A and B are shown apart, each in its own frame.
Chain A
Amino acid sequence: MEFTITGANAITYPYLHIWDWRVAIYLFLGGLAGGCMSMAAVANLRPDKETPKSQACCWRVPMMTPVILAVGMGFLFLDLQVKQHMYRFYMTLQPLSPMSWGSWILILVFPAMIAFALSTVPESAMDNLKDGMIRNLIIKAQNSMRPLAKLNFLLGILLSIYTGILLSSFMARPLWNSSILPVLFLNSGMSTGAATMILMARRSSVKLFFTKVDIWLIFSEITVLVLLYYGQFTSPEASRESILPFFTLTSQYFPYFISILTLSIVLPLAIILKFLEISSDHSENIELTFKQKFEMNASAVLVLLGGAIIRFALVYAGQLSKFTGLS
């Protein structure tokens, strides 16, 4: 006797697609905000301790940082399915849930970054402020600029690394479940933070300093990225298969192949531009030429682009990776 069973069950097979561009943008902006916090802190801590507190050399990036993070959190909010229950994040602390303590980190980070931003308001801007609460707050914050900068440096690292821990804690997704991923996100966050400093800084000495910093950060980022893929390749089957989309040129995996191809062009190109940049004359009295400005801004934009590509590629590809089988 022959049995023929027609399985019409393909529609019941699981297809995981839970987090899209909104989460990728949130992770990118979260890492960028963390990088901006740390790099702006470095910029303001670099001058001698005797430097008057009012001479904070960098104030536009600290001002932008809360806005960057708020926009990122806005995208995270858009991704929530039950938006009216958002307050539930702050009704409990689940110590084993990175998303739970991450939501508390965001609450901690905001006052610190706003206080730091206030502490960096330059004297020229103070003249335009009327007497009032904000002016008093700024004066109080300015007295603690250096401690606030140190706090922001640490919180920036915490924020950047958290965006990677959020993904790496998911054992069920082999591509994400790597201890290298938080390091990559931290590195990328710091690198994009340095790129933002380059874009926003007016003085060529500051641009030059962060260009040098960013060269090391990009080298480190490329190394960690290669280590991530190498670690996955030398791990069990599910982890090895999780990186296949990046190295398979088919219509299904085309975006992932393009992402790794783009990264392998964008990041080295950014390094080359930065080397060209630091080889130029950047003395304080010399005005930057168009070519120098172009090299600086182009390399910074490439770094930001690379950071965004990393988040998008890993968020989407991670959802393709899974364990299979009975045991």
Chain B
Amino acid sequence: MKHYAMVIDQSRCVGCMACIAACVQENQVPFENFRTRVLEITKGKFPKLRTEFRPELCNHCDNAPCVMACPTGASYKREDGIVMIDRDKCVGCKACIAACPYDARYINEEHGFADKCTFCLHRLKKDLEPACVATCIGKSRIFGDLSDKDSEVSRLLAENESRVRLKAAGTKPRVFYIKRYPTKQIEEV
């Protein structure tokens, strides 16, 4: 059984927002809603400033609070780790949106149901990468199967120190963040 996960190499993200556009186009995301975003976070005091680009999306948590909060069983976790929404069961109560600590969900105003990133499941079924991964010009987003030890995501997580968002929340996210700076660059810093 596959265990899908995404690794995001923040050192390679240039903040071009192409992933957002690709996601909106691929999934026909309604106006003013987004399944993924890139946060531009600037820290420090001028002139010692540091900017970080942090792509964010549904973390497809192993311990998903949205799935637990759903009163109708519309939100569920597939065996391959992808958290999905059964649109026929969704009543639009918004409990899952309140439950998500990552603010990854929204209400599709056109149809009423809750919606979010699906890791582009329809593309995975055709052996294609998620749209955001395929379009990422800096190769910042890497997608793959964690159960395959030879996959790129497994290798990157083995070779690099990784972080997840809000680890203390105990949701066990499947989106991991790494920063692969070349050795020379680290020495200069």
Contact = CB atoms under 8 A, between A and B. Distances in A.
Interface stretch (A151-159, A300-308, A319-327): A319-327
A47 B179 CA distance: 73
Contacts of B112: 81-82
A231 B6 CA distance: 37
A99 interface: yes
A275 to B, nearest CB: 40
A1 to B, nearest CB: 14
A253 interface: no
A163 B90 CA distance: 21
Contact of A82 (B71, B92, B163, B169): B92
Given A97-B68, A326-B165, A326-B177, A18 B97 contact: yes
A103 to B, nearest CB: 6
B164 interface: yes
Interface stretch (B99-107, B126-134, B139-147, B149-157): B99-107
B116 to A, nearest CB: 11
Given A8-B17, A11-B32, A99 B169 contact: no
Q: How large is the interface on B (under 10, 10 to 19, 20 to 34, 35 or more residues)?
A: 35 or more
B38 A99 contact: no
Given A7-B40, A9-B40, A82-B90, A327 B97 contact: no
A94 B91 CA distance: 14
Interface string B41-58: 000000000010010000
A88 B74 contact: yes
A77 B155 CA distance: 49
A16 B103 CA distance: 7
B107 A170 contact: no
A169 interface: yes
Contacts, number: 133
A97 B71 contact: yes
A7 B17 CA distance: 9
Contact of A103 (B32, B71, B88, B113): B71
Interface in B25-46: 32, 34, 37-40
A117 to B, nearest CB: 28
Interface in B51-110: 51, 54, 65, 68-74, 88-95, 97-103, 107
Nearest to B17: A9
Contact of A9 (B38, B90, B101, B167): B38
Given A326-B54, A326-B163, A171 B65 contact: yes
B104 to A, nearest CB: 8
A190 to B, nearest CB: 26
Contacts of A8: 17
Interface in A1-21: 5, 7-9, 11-14, 16, 18-19
Contacts of A14: 37, 103
Contacts of A16: 97-98, 103
A248 B24 CA distance: 38
A166 to B, nearest CB: 8
B91 A170 contact: no
A12 B69 contact: no
Contact of B71 (A5, A89, A326): A89
B158 interface: no
A327 B163 CA distance: 7
B120 interface: no
Nearest to B87: A82
25 contacts: A9-B20, A9-B38, A9-B39, A11-B32, A13-B39, A14-B103, A18-B98, A18-B107, A80-B92, A81-B107, A81-B112, A82-B92, A85-B91, A88-B72, A96-B68, A96-B69, A99-B69, A170-B69, A322-B103, A323-B101, A323-B166, A326-B163, A326-B165, A327-B165, A327-B167
Chain A to chain B: the 8 pairs with minimum beta-carbon distance, closest first: A81-B92, A14-B103, A172-B101, A81-B112, A12-B37, A100-B71, A7-B40, A99-B71
